[in-house]
């Protein structure tokens, strides 16, 4: 294949991303949600998908930090699935607080948004934005494990994006959205129950003198709002998919 043909194929694929495709529905929608729930609840599967939640958590710190006027210098995801993001700027003030507070809500926000997009026929746009974000993030990786994880995710997402408007590609966006949303609850529950003051809520409490419990409650309210948003989007197509499945038996 010549370079001109490659460029034409990429251009055609990019053009199709901005056309509204078929929303994910029926058995593909059910498959995305059921597999996502299994990915969170079954421990071996959770260990495989947890890096995605941690990655969005850390990039949430980075994105809000940059928007708050801070400089993003790098991040690390460890093999135990913990992570750390470094931004440079003032050590106090609203920018620092917003940056520290962004981590736990971000997977739920992105997850609900991904579900909304997939059900609106915009799964291709989501996959393209993820691809761009991962490539940019790769230049800020500060460990071999982080870089290797990003390269793997770039390959997987690139394959799904190139697959175009096939229903299983759109279903993967629903799966990812549900994993991020449910995974956000699991991450927050872990930090809230363990009470580790080295985690974001404890650091925020030390920086603002607002109790850790209040920060955890605030995060819970944001996650609850995202869950409500996702359910409002899913309620009707999910019900129709279940009816169709049961009616086909």
Candidates 235, 245, 223, 199; CA nearest to 110 is 223
* pLDDT (0 to 100) of residue 9: 60
Phi-psi region of 179 (alpha: psi -120 to 50; beta: other; left: phi over 0): alpha
* pLDDT (0 to 100) of residue 165: 72
CA distance 184 to 105: 7
> 57 and 188 in contact (C-beta within 8 Å)?
no
* pLDDT (0 to 100) of residue 20: 63
* pLDDT (0 to 100) of residue 220: 95
> What SS3 class is residue 146?
helix
* pLDDT (0 to 100) of residue 123: 86
pTM over 0.95: no
Got the DSSP string for 61-115? HHHHHHHTT-EEEEEEE-TTS-EEEEEES-SSSHHHHHHHHTTTTHHHHHHHHHH
* pLDDT (0 to 100) of residue 87: 86
* pLDDT (0 to 100) of residue 18: 64
CA distance 104 to 95: 16
Phi/psi of residue 66, nearest 5 degrees: -65, -45
Residues (pLDDT < 70) of the chain are 1-21, 164, 195-196, 248-249
Phi/psi of residue 160, nearest 5 degrees: -65, -40
* pLDDT (0 to 100) of residue 25: 78
DSSP 52: H
CA distance 39 to 45: 5
From residue 222, how far is each of 156, 167, 178, 244 by CA, in Å? 29, 30, 16, 33
């Amino acid at each position: 294949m010549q370079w001109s043909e490659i460029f034409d194929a990429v251009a055609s694929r990019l053009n199709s991303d901005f056309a509204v495709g078929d929303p994910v529905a029926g058995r593909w929608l059910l498959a995305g949600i059921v597999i996502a729930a299994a990915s969170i609840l079954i421990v071996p599967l959770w260990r495989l998908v947890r890096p995605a939640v941690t990655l969005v958590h850390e990039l949430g710190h980075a994105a809000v930090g940059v928007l708050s006027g801070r400089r993003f210098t790098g991040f690390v995801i460890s093999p135990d699935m913990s992570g750390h993001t470094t931004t440079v700027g003032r050590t106090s003030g609203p920018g620092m607080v917003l940056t520290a507070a962004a981590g736990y809500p971000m997977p739920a926000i992105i997850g609900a948004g991904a579900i909304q997009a997939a059900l609106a026929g915009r799964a291709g746009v989501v996959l393209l934005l993820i691809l761009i974000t991962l490539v940019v993030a790769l230049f800020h990786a500060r460990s071999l494990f982080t870089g290797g994880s990003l390269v793997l995710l770039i390959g997987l997402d690139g394959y799904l994006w190139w697959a175009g408007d096939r229903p299983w590609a759109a279903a993967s966006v629903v799966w990812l959205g549900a994993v991020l949303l449910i995974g956000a609850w699991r991450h927050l529950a872990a930090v809230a129950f363990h009470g580790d003051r080295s985690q974001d809520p404890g650091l925020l409490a030390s920086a603002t003198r607002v109790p850790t419990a209040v920060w955890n409650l605030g995060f819970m309210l944001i996650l609850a709002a995202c869950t409500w948003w996702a359910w409002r989007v899913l309620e009707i197509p999910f019900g129709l998919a279940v009816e169709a499945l049961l009616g086909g038996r």
